Amino acid sequence: MLLFLWIAAALLGGFLWAPLVPALGESTRVLYFHIPSAWVMSVAFGWSFLHSVLYLMRRRIGHDDQAAAAAELGILFCIGAAVSGALWAKAKWGTYWNWDPRETTIFFLFLVYGAYLALRSAIEGEEKRARLSAVYSAIAFVTVPFLIFVVPRLYATLHPSPILPQAGERGSIDPPIVVCFTAMLLGFTALFFWITSLRVRLVRLERRRERSEAAA
């Protein structure tokens, strides 16, 4: 409950209170959604990868639950980031999708984790599914830096560089923007962890129900 109020407040603040960044005009607003989405997407995938590796090392099914839940949410935030990015692109440059390197990267991340979920649904047996999807998650994660950092360097980019300037350029970003932005960032992150924990709890309950049914 508190979380939703928090996010709502940050959103409202972003729309009504904070001024606009000169270069971007009205479309500044998208900052509050697009970047936090993309950020959480990265957090989600990192979390998923971490638990995949932990599963392989420790073989506790709880890790696999976390990895799967995080990947599912990661995809949602990925879609959110892509859609908000497309809306912004339309406003700014006139087209929704351009195969700009950043857009391409997000799309391929979506494919990678879509593949992860497709793989999971194709394997029977809890242990086998956990183990094999962890292996795939691990190898997918090591290729991600290439997708994010390397591929864009091969092609010129239309995507703006970091919107928030470095510390040396103090004064060019108004505090209210930073406040709302940071609030959204934190709010989204908290949202992610909360929903993930709900999802994991759901999976655990289902498993317990299956076990008691099997024993009956």
Partner 1 sequence: MSAAAVAVGTLAVEARGLEHLYTGRRGLPAVSFALEAPGVAAVTGANGSGKSTLLRLLAGLLRPTAGRALVTVAGREVPPAARRAVLGFVSPELAFYEEFSCAENLAFVAEARGLRERRTAALAALDRVGLGARAGDRVAALSSGMRQRLRLAFAVLHRPPLLLLDEPGSHLDEEGRRLVERIVEEESRAGLVVIATNETRESGLAARRIELRGRGLGHPA
Partner 2 sequence: MPHDGSSSVAAVWAILRKECRSEWRTRYGLNAALLFAVTTLTGVSFAVGRLPDRTDLLAALLWVVLLFAALASLAHAFVREVEGHTLTLLRLVASPTAIALGKLLFNLLFLAVLEAVTVPLFLLLMGGPPVRWGPFLLILGLGSVALAVTTTLVGAVVSQARGRGALFAAVSLPLLMVVLAAGVSGLRAQWDGNPIGAEARILLAYIAVVLGASVLLYDHLWED
Give contact residues for partner 1 (rule: CB under 8 A): 59, 125-127, 207, 210-211, 214-215
Q: For residues 55 and 130, is the Cβ–Cβ distance under 8 A?
A: yes
Closer by beta carbon to partner 2, 17 or else 149: 149
Considering only the stretches 63-71, 124-132, 174-182, 187-195, report the one whose residues sit in contact with partner 2 under the rule CB under 8 A: 124-132
Please report whether residue 124 would count as binding partner 2 according to CB under 8 A.
yes
Closer by beta carbon to partner 1, 201 or else 211: 211
Please report whether residue 97 would count as binding partner 2 according to CB under 8 A.
no
Rounded-to-integer distance, Cα 174 and Cα 56, Å: 46
Closer by beta carbon to partner 1, 121 or else 212: 212
CB of 65 to partner 1, least distance (A): 13
CB of 148 to partner 2, least distance (A): 10
Considering only the stretches 8-16, 66-74, 129-137, 176-184, report the one whose residues sit in contact with partner 2 under the rule CB under 8 A: 129-137
Please report whether residue 159 would count as binding partner 2 according to CB under 8 A.
no
- Nearest residue to 23 via CA among 161, 181, 196: 161
Phi-psi group of 162: left, alpha or beta (phi > 0 → left; psi -120 to 50 → alpha; rest → beta): beta
Please report whether residue 108 would count as binding partner 2 according to CB under 8 A.
yes
Among partner 1, partner 2, none, what binds residue 140 when CB lies within 5 to 8 Å by partner kind?
Answer: partner 2
Please report whether residue 154 would count as binding partner 2 according to CB under 8 A.
yes
Q: Give the interface with partner 2 as residue ranges (CB under 8 A).
A: 56, 108, 111-112, 114-115, 118-119, 122-124, 127-128, 131-132, 134-136, 138-140, 142-143, 146-147, 150-151, 153-154
